[in-house]
Amino acid sequence: MPDLPRSAAELDLVALANRVLPGGGFGNMASDIVIAEGYGGRVRDVSGNDYVDLLLGSGPMFIGHAHPDVVAAVQAQIPKGVTFFANNEPGIRLAAALVDAVPCADKVRFTSTGTEADAYAMRVARAFRKRDKILKFEGGFHGMGEYSLQSMAPKRPGNFPQAAPDSPGIPRSVAGDMLIAPFNDAEMACSLIREHRDELGGVIVEPFQRLIPPAPGFLEALRAVTTEYGIPLIFDEIVTGFRFAYGGAQEYYGVTPDICTLGKIVAGGFPLAAVVGRADIMRHFDRAEMGDDMLPQIGTLSGNPVAATAGLATLEVLRRPGTYEAVFATGRRLMDGLAGIIQAAGLPAQVIGMPVLFDVIFATGDIADYRSTLRQDMEAMRRFNRSMRAAAVLKSDSKCYVSTAHTEADIRQVLAAFQKAVDAEVASRRE
């Protein structure tokens, strides 16, 4: 399937990017496309091609690009100042909104990125427990820090609980402070937690790991065993926070952690994330309470008023009646449509995830953890993604994000793109 046409202006920008950026890009999406603008559930590239956007900036644009309420709020704030390195009203009010919304949140500490939030969440758990080790789950993504990049995508998975670094440049010593468990295996995870209970500072988990839902009872088992031994349970809700429900995955699944991290949606696309949690744990950020044992955390843009203003406007949109019912209905139509197309074509593939976050996996059988995802046909996935882009639908390599801004026309275009992509895959298998 041919790619969409490229203008001389876009090709010039791609050439410039290849000259000044490693790999020609920012390290995120493919570098042969340059986005000029976004509006609602769509983006437009420099060549003027319009795409239905299932990438959504890797998730944060949950209410769509350039939402008029967010734009108006930000435009009103910018003339008043963009950052102060000091308390400001929008930041304080956003913190209060997070405490009101998120079940585990007594206190809030802002950061600028999800990577920072996850790093500080693990650090404050260690400070609270006075223990060094963190247990995470194989395949779990917790940002780009040294501790997070352990067994996130191991090419040759090792024996549990041994950690394997995912990147060059990470000191070998880091792996010794991380324990790895299989996602959705409650028996093994709880066994490892019990075995290492005297070493563990905390347990961190994506309650919905990448595209894999928790098995019934899995999160509850983690909550029970960590409570038994007084080990902080951290939910990484950078993706699921305010996406699965207004109170995040912890509201959706009915399991409350001790700490969670938030990002993506809470700043309406601006750079802001947060660590939230129990007051007795979060007090470690407070010098007045902890003295010399205080955990320092400084960020030049933490809680900046522009991002906080955008976040407040976004959360106000999400509180409107029917918002979540509507976006879940959109996602279900897309998931069901794709599943039906795959079934009719007889492809060895399946749709996994949630209506607000899903994708096709070119593999059969149960997909319950990272190792089961390794069965999938990655070449087929790449062909599928290329076909989707050629049909003017932009998505990541492994996710389709759904927004509140996607329209009936967007849905029809995506379903038609699914059909073309599946037809192209069937044809490629006949060659």
65 three-state secondary structure: strand
Radius of gyration of the chain (CA): 22
Cβ-proximal residues to 345 (8 Å cutoff; 6+ apart), any chain: 422, 423, 425, 426
| Top-tier CATH class for 8-66+322-430 | alpha beta
If one counts every other C-beta atom within 10 angstroms of the C-beta of residue 323, the result is 15
What mean pLDDT, rounded, does the chain reach?
96
Kindly indicate the confidence band of residue 207, based on its pLDDT and cuts at 50, 70 and 90.
Answer: very high
Is 90 exceeded by the pLDDT of residue 295? yes
CB 350 within 8 A of CB 358: no
Kindly indicate the confidence band of residue 2, based on its pLDDT and cuts at 50, 70 and 90.
Answer: low
Residue of 89, 129, 141, 95 whose CA lies nearest to 275: 95
E-strand ranges in 271-427 read 273-277, 350-354, 357-361, 393-394, 400-401
Is 80 exceeded by the pLDDT of residue 1? no
pLDDT in tens, 340-395: 999 999 999 999 999 999 999 999 999 999 999 999 999 999 999 999 999 999 99
* Average of per-residue pLDDT across 138-160: 92
pLDDT in tens, 96-148: 999 999 999 999 999 999 999 999 999 999 999 999 999 999 999 999 999 99
CATH architecture of 68-318: 3-Layer(aba) Sandwich (3.40)
Q: How far apart are CA 243 and CA 95, in angstroms?
A: 18
What angle do the packed helices 305-318 and 89-101 form, to 10 degrees? 40
Q: How far is CA 415 from CA 339, 389, 420, in A?
A: 11, 13, 9
* Average of per-residue pLDDT across 394-409: 96
pTM score, whole prediction: 0.96
If one counts every other C-beta atom within 10 angstroms of the C-beta of residue 31, the result is 16
In the chain, CATH 3.40.640.10 sits at 68-318
In the chain, CATH 3.90.1150.10 sits at 8-66+322-430
